[in-house]
Amino acid sequence: MNAILSKLRADRRLLWIAYLGLVLLLTTMPFLTEMGLGRSWVRILDFVLLYMMLALGLNIVVGYAGLLDLGYVGFYAVGAYLYALLASPHFGLHLPFWLLLPMGALIAGLFGVLLGAPTLRLRGDYLAIVTLGFGEIIRVFLNNLNAPINLTNGPQGVNLIDPISVNGFSFGGMHQVFGLNFPSTYSYYYLFLVLTLLIIFVSIRLEDSRIGRAWAAIREDEVAAEAMGIRTRNVKLLAFAMGASFGGVSGGLFAAFQGFVSPESFNLMESVMILCMIVLGGMGNIAGVILGAVLLTTLPEALRYLGPLQEFLFGEVLVDPSNLRMLVFGLALIIIMIFRPAGLLPSSRRKRELQPEPEVAAQEQATVYDSKR
């Protein structure tokens, strides 16, 4: 794969062809998926993109700034409920999405600062438990704020949330374009794709920016970073706010896509899964995070075919697939981590940290040489 990539880098024409192929593939992805795997996989594809956004958001906090956050799902919940409450019959409000999504980002960002502020002095596992607690506090409040005033409708959740619609084009309905059927999962796919690409773009720009380098410095050594004149407080808060705002946007999209939100969707396991995506894929590396999101979203769904697979292999279902599914998933987590401890696609910095010395030296020489050329 590396050979292909370096070849691509060398030849500009090949690169453009690769881009063209990529654009083509991404635009036809839902059609290909439906043809190859069935319509339910288009919905899974949408969730893959949604989790990519979430994972990229958390990557800013955990991967870039090195702050272990186990309550990320709280921001997702804030975004989702904001959208749900202001665009559903619950309060009779139906605000448009172009107002609600930025609002979701803003308010989730504020919550990010709210979480960040008291935890600035905490490190590692202490930070993990506080963020975990913060996520749980948000869920508990969402679950219980139906009395004395009914704000969130409590455990019953908010139903009949408006789908996203632009100029009368509702993403929620079935559409006919050029004689092709466009169910809502298709419309949402393109919307999610655009936003995911935007978030990928922002992530890349952030990584190499002044702020990105400040985050890396804090991650590696907070005391040294402070000594170098980095305002660790502001920079850390910014990481929380940025990560949270991505979560808020994803939450709003989730609410519009599902049409129903309830506190059950925002439990601790969800946070843990998003963290798993990052660590499994390769913390701090955008490609890795994307791969992690794809794998961990599709794997549990793919494992549903364990039943038919057994039928195919042995002629009957020997072990109940529902019993096997999560077992295999857990085993996969362990095995991947043991064989790729830095993640499937580790970031270059981490790779260097982990490799034995002579190789590091050789690689560093190579990079120096590269940059001179």
Which residues, numbered 38-97, are part of the site for other proteins (CB under 8 A)?
A: 38-41, 43-44, 47-48, 52, 62, 68
- Classify residue 64 by its DSSP letter: I
Exposure string (b/e) for 138-169, b if CB count within 10 Å is 16 or more? bbeebbebeeeeebbbbeebbeebbbbeeeee
Helix (H) or strand (E) segment spanning residue 329: helix 321-339
- Integer Cα distance of 182 and 42 in angstroms: 11
CA-CA-CA-CA torsion sign (277, 280, 281, 283) = positive
268 scored as a contact of other proteins (CB under 8 A)? yes
Phi, psi (rounded to 5 degrees) for 282? 135, 100
Q: Which of 155, 231, 349, 365 binds other proteins (CB under 8 A)?
A: 155
Q: Which of 11, 264, 359, 364 binds other proteins (CB under 8 A)?
A: 264
As a whole number of angstroms, the longest Cα–Cα distance in the chain is 69
- Integer Cα distance of 36 and 298 in angstroms: 15
Which residues, numbered 195-254, are part of the site for other proteins (CB under 8 A)?
A: 197, 200-201, 204-205, 208, 254
Stretch of 98-106, 114-122, 227-235, 361-369 lying at the interface with other proteins (CB under 8 A): 114-122
Which residues, numbered 2-21, are part of the site for other proteins (CB under 8 A)?
A: 5, 8-9, 15, 18-19
Which one, 27 or 98, has the nearer CB to other proteins? 27
Closest distance to other proteins from the beta carbon of 349 (Å): 11
360 scored as a contact of other proteins (CB under 8 A)? no
Pull the structure tokens for residue 149: 């005033």
Q: Which residues on neighbouring strands pair with residue 261, listed in sequence order?
A: 158
113 scored as a contact of other proteins (CB under 8 A)? no
Q: Please, are residues 324 and 303 in contact by the beta-carbon 8 Å criterion?
A: yes
Which one, 264 or 364, has the nearer CB to other proteins? 264
Which residues, numbered 289-308, are part of the site for other proteins (CB under 8 A)?
A: 290-291, 294-295, 298, 301-302, 304-305, 308
Which residues, numbered 171-200, are part of the site for other proteins (CB under 8 A)?
A: 174, 185, 197, 200
Q: For other proteins, how many residues bind (rule: CB under 8 A)?
A: 114
